[in-house]
Amino acid sequence: MNAKFFFSSVKTAFSREIKMISGVEFFFNTILLPLLYIGLFGLLMGRLIPKVTFRGEELSYLTFMFPGILVSICFNEGIRGGNSLFREKLNGGLETLFSLPVPRSSLFLAKVLTACFKALASMVVVSILGFFLVKGMSITVLGIIGALLAALCIAIAFTSIMIALISLTRHPDTPLAIGGLMLMPLTMLSTIFYPEEVFQGLPLLDVIVKINPVSHAALLMRSFIFSYPLQFPTSLVSGLYLVGLVATGLIIGNWVFGRTLEE
């Protein structure tokens, strides 16, 4: 199999995945929900918590929360990233796909890229609103690239995890239940909505927040968006942690997906 054929297969599969996106689902889950977080939760909580201290700087709550919302977008898309596979297993479409003369890894990669595409589209819309509401953003090319990479690591890793779970199970509701169980705890026990100091003195919760990849992505996102320098070991550890999670997710997700439907 040559590289040209592989990337052509990915392109064709990606086009198919994009056509399968429901307009209603995309609008409500990918566009409207993040906007509501910013417009309602952020502004209302800003009245209760006027200032948040981050890396020695005082920020408004909305300013602090905004990068976390961008990360949560990618996390949500990652959890929903296996939805097309879920439908294909239910309606028998996966058998047809696997009978085509294309590598299964290209089909897997197309699903991951679709989740990234949806996350990017949502982040662009939310960022336009944030540009008018959030103060102190530092718009630089390197900052934008770094922020996108940090957030997309979450989308790629969790999409791969969900595809692996859906591929493994025979009961259709199990992956959705697991995804739901991951979504709320990993969102609330992270630094998306609250600074890390909130969890200090709570030993178990503090450990979960520190190892939660969503927290690492939010930390890097805030650093890139607001140009707050991180100590080199901190940024390196968070970056390597996310890259390792992505690599592990892609390898396991692709391997398990390729064996879907095998007894």
Please check whether residue 6 lies inside any domain of the structure: no
Q: Where does the chain have alpha helices with state H?
A: 3-20, 23-25, 33-36, 43-48, 61-79, 83-91, 93-98, 104-133, 141-168, 173-188, 203-211, 213-226, 232-257
Higher per-residue confidence, 102 vs 108? 108
- Which of 50-54, 147-151, 193-197 has the least mean pLDDT? 50-54
Only one residue has tokens 């509701």, namely 173
Give the residue with greater pLDDT, 130 vs 205: 205
In percent, the amount of the chain with pLDDT more than 90 equals 24
pLDDT in tens, 237-252: 889 999 999 999 999 9
* Mean pLDDT estimate for the chain: 83
**pLDDT the model gives residue 199:** 87
Domain count, the chain: 1
Confirm whether 1 is domain-assigned: no
Question: Is residue 163 in a domain?
Answer: yes
Domain span including residue 194: 13-257
Instruction: List pLDDT tens digits, range 218-240.
Output: 989 888 887 666 666 777 888 99
**In this structure, how many other beta carbons lie within 10 angstroms of the beta carbon of residue 13?**
23
In a domain, 3, yes or no: no
First to last CA, the chain: 26
Model pTM score: 0.88
Q: Per-residue pLDDT tens for 185-216? A: 888 899 888 888 888 888 888 899 999 999 99
Local confidence band at 158 (pLDDT 50, 70, 90 cut-offs): very high
